[in-house]
Amino acid sequence: MQNLDNYGSGRRGNTRALESQFEGFLYAAILSKLLPPPENPFLSAIQNDRYYCLLLPLTLPVLVVAVYLHWLSMKLFRHLHITEL
């Protein structure tokens, strides 16, 4: 039997990793454009980037099409009637 005290610890770690990735995207896409120019060359490159902020808005329509195609393929697979030759 699994120890219930440590059951959710993996999920909390995954949640924190997703939160930090979202915070990094938020900084790179929005907040860096509002801040004054930094001294750090890496942060300056993030601030001057024009394409990363378009990643999420352009990914959403592709995701919708992918989900629809997945649903359609599963629907066709479930209703496929195979007859023996």
Q: Where are the domains of the chain?
A: 4-78
pLDDT in single tens digits along all 85 residues of the chain: 455 555 556 667 788 888 888 888 888 888 888 989 989 998 898 888 888 888 878 899 999 999 999 999 999 988 887 766 5
Q: What is the pTM of this model?
A: 0.51
Map the chain to HEC letters. Answer: CCCHHHCCHHHHHHHHHHHHHHHHHHHHHHHHHHCCCCCCHHHHHHHHCCCHHHHHHHHHHHHHHHHHHHHHHHHHHHCCCCCCC
